[in-house]
Amino acid sequence: MRFFDDILRVCHSKPLMGYYCAMVPAIRQAFRHYIVCLLLSASGIVVAAESGVVLLYHHVATGTPQSTSISPEDFRAHLDYLRDNNFSVLPLDELVQSLRSRTPLPDRAVAITFDDGYSSIYETAFPLLQEYGMPFALFVSTEPINNRQKNYMTWEQIRALSEAGALIANHMVSHPYMLSRNAEETDANWLARQRAELLEAEATILKETGQSHRFLAYPYGEFNAQIKAMLAEEGYVGFAQNSGAVGYSSDFHALPRYPLAGIYARLETARVKFSTLAFDVELLEPDSPVTELERPEALLRFNLNGISPSQLGCYDNGEAMTLTWENRETGLLRIQAADAHSDRRWRYICTAPSTENGRYFWYSVPWINPR
Ligand SMILES: [Zn+2]
């Protein structure tokens, strides 16, 4: 896919070619689909998949906050593992387009993303990713970049990433807590403020890099039903920060990503996530992760399709949860934490082993209590 990367590189350096450049990912996707079909028909090898995984990094450095950092050594170990174990690292837009159009993906499809735009991405991660020939996406908040804030990349550096084929996308202007209301702000004014900030960041990124994908990574992974509906109206895809694989049935206004920092950066735990598969599942209740309850309930409909219900497990803080099957035949499952939560953000995680040794289906329900 080097050929397409070269075209994109030329494209991003010539904003006037926007119309033709926008077609490149679609052509590349069609080309890859053709190759996948050829392989499938050739020898019965199963290479097509209906899911993939999105990885989330912030700093690739030591000496930065542990909860958002991976060391350069651990990051290189991730890339080595992806290269040596039959993973296909795809551009984020290609992964999303394939899932939305229900086009088969290569097995073990992965997209690499970075949030915020810290300097260590330019200084450390970027040279490594170039060395491994892996595409990646960067979600930037535009204000710290405009203000030339310490530890953030400059627009010149972001343009260098863009010209090398990186996808540059939206992380709002000021990295806000999107759920926070100003004093005496009405619901309508609050939502209008979020929309204005979203569109301003997108316009700045377009002006500085020539890119506009309408991809938003929610700052802190926080959103609610109204924000998702606003994204849908504006034609955006939303990325969250709760774990899980992405698949045909994913919520494209809150796609899960695996945060790989702190204790989760270690290869022994991260590698299990790299090869996870997406459940065919729908979150029926609630429609928003925002809750004031300490033990909120979720109602899910799993299409288990070959997975035995007895193999499905859901976990809260690593503790197995009681599964209440409302209807085992239709996969209707209710889950609720046994212990009260006092944190701002937490999640319930459901997994099941696949028939392939060492691989798991993985889904999580995020919760936010702004208090
Ligand atoms: Zn962020």
19 within domain boundaries: no
- Report CA(116)–ligand 1 centroid distance (Å): 5
| Residue 25 belongs to a domain | no
Whole-number pLDDT of residue 247: 98
> Are residues 231 and 141 located together in one domain of the fold?
yes
Does 257 score more than 80 pLDDT?
Answer: yes
Q: Closest Cα to residue 93, out of 158, 165, 39?
A: 165
Per-residue confidence (pLDDT) for residue 194, from 0 to 100 = 98
Whether residue 96 is found in the same domain as residue 245: yes
Evaluate whether 174 touches 141 at the Cβ level (below 8 Å).
yes
**Ligand 1 mean position to 126 CA, how many Å?**
18
- CATH number reported for the structural domain that contains residue 163 in this entry: 3.20.20.370
* DSSP per-residue codes, 179-199: TPPPTT--HHHHHHHHHHHHH
Residues 233 and 314 in one domain: no
What per-residue confidence (pLDDT) applies to 15? 46
Q: Both 270 and 294 in a single domain?
A: no
> Ligand 1 being an ion, which residues bring their Cβ within 5 A of it?
115-116, 219
Residue 250 Cα to ligand 1 middle (Å): 22
| Mean pLDDT confidence for 265-276 | 97
Rg for the chain, CA atoms, rounded = 20
Percent of the chain with pLDDT over 70: 87
Task: Kindly state whether residue 304 falls inside one of the protein's structural domains.
Answer: yes
pLDDT of 94 strictly over 70: yes
Choose one of 262, 278, 294: the last residue of a domain: 278
Torsion over CA: 151, 157, 159, 162 (sign): negative
How much is the pLDDT for 306?
84
pLDDT beyond 70 at 335:
yes
- Centre of ligand 1 to C-alpha 168, Å, is 14
Prediction pTM value: 0.89
Q: Is the pLDDT of residue 68 over 50?
A: yes
Q: What is the pLDDT of residue 28?
A: 64
Give mean pLDDT, residues 247-266: 97
Residue 32 domain-assigned (yes or no): no
Note the pLDDT of residue 192. Answer: 98
Mean pLDDT over each residue of the chain, to the nearest integer:
91
Q: Same structural domain for residues 126 and 184?
A: yes
Number of domains in the chain: 2
The predicted model gives 130-139 an average pLDDT of: 98
**Residue 30 reports pLDDT greater than 90:** no
**Residue 46 pLDDT more than 90?**
no
- Let me know whether 272 and 287 are in one domain: no
Q: Compute, in angstroms, the gap from residue 40 CA to the centroid of ligand 1.
A: 39
Please tell me which residue, 259 or 3, carries the higher pLDDT value.
259
Tell me the average pLDDT across 297-312: 93
- Let me know whether 151 and 265 are in one domain: yes
Tell which wins on pLDDT, 114 or 307.
114
pLDDT above 90 covers what percent of the chain? 84
pLDDT average, residue stretch 9-27 = 51
In a shared domain, residues 251 and 272: yes
Q: What is the pLDDT of residue 223?
A: 98
Q: Are residues 257 and 114 in the same domain?
A: yes
8, 24 contact by CB (below 8 A)? yes
Distances, alpha carbon 182 to alpha carbons 127, 231, 242, 255, 305, in Å: 41, 21, 26, 27, 46
Domain range for 237: 47-278
Q: pLDDT at residue 27 above 80? A: no
Same-domain status, 232 and 272: yes
Residue 259 Cα to ligand 1 midpoint, Å, equals 11
Looking at residue 183, what is its pLDDT? 94
Q: What is the pairing mode between strands 345-353 and 360-368?
A: antiparallel
Q: Residue 140 Cα, ligand 1 centroid: separation in angstroms?
A: 8
| DSSP 8-state class, residue 159 | H
Q: Work out the pLDDT band at 357, boundaries 50, 70, 90.
A: confident
Which of 227, 260, 278 represents a domain boundary (last residue)? 278
Last residue of some domain: 278, 311, 334? 278
Q: Where are the beta strands (DSSP E) in 142-290?
A: 167-170, 215-217, 237-239, 246-247, 258-259, 280-285
- CATH at 291: 2.60.40.10
Q: What is the pLDDT of residue 40?
A: 47
Residue 44 CA, ligand 1 centroid: distance in Å: 43
Given a cut of 70, is residue 240 above it in pLDDT? yes
